[in-house]
Structure 1
């Protein structure tokens, strides 16, 4: 049995986000009014060979801390399901 984990990584508040700024600027140029701050992140989906959801979440969180997110400038969230 496998469990799917989704890790969402986003820049921490206060950290410059040039990709988000570029997306916001492009949306304004395309005529989309009323868009405030844009923050761009990434989503990583993992299929884990684990049967216990709690263990799967712990493993995915360790992966996020050690590789998937730069915890100095990014935060992450792990969802199991």
Structure 2
């Protein structure tokens, strides 16, 4: 059984109240080295058999149409969980 990882983040121009709450709490918990936090979503999609280029293409399409809100979010990674630790940047970019 294969697994595809999809990561979605708010677009940079969109306010992220959850990220702001986390960045405010970190110093109170002793984590003073972090200056910014953006909170996103991670999806793990399991498939029968291997993750093929066709499966990744279908996952990318599902990410764009169902798993993300393209008005306020970017799909930043669609990858085979077993072989692609670095991921594939599709849009927006990892910050």
Q: Per the shorter chain, which TM-score range?
A: 0.7 to 0.9
Whole-angstrom CA distance in 2 between matches of 1:52 and 1:46: 10
TM-score by length of 1: 0.87
Does residue 58 of the first structure (1) align with residue 46 of the second (2)?
no
What 5-or-longer segments of structure 1 have no aligned partner? none
The answer for unaligned runs of 5 or more in structure 2 is: 83-95
More helix per residue: 1
Look at both structures and tell me which one has the larger radius of gyration over its CA atoms: 1
* Match in the other structure for 2:29: 30
Instruction: Calculate the aligned-residue CA RMSD, in Å.
Output: 1.5
Aligned partners of 2:7 and 2:41: how far apart in 1?
6
Whether the 8 Å contact between 1:4 and 1:46 is mirrored in structure 2 is yes
TM superposition score normalised by structure 2: 0.75
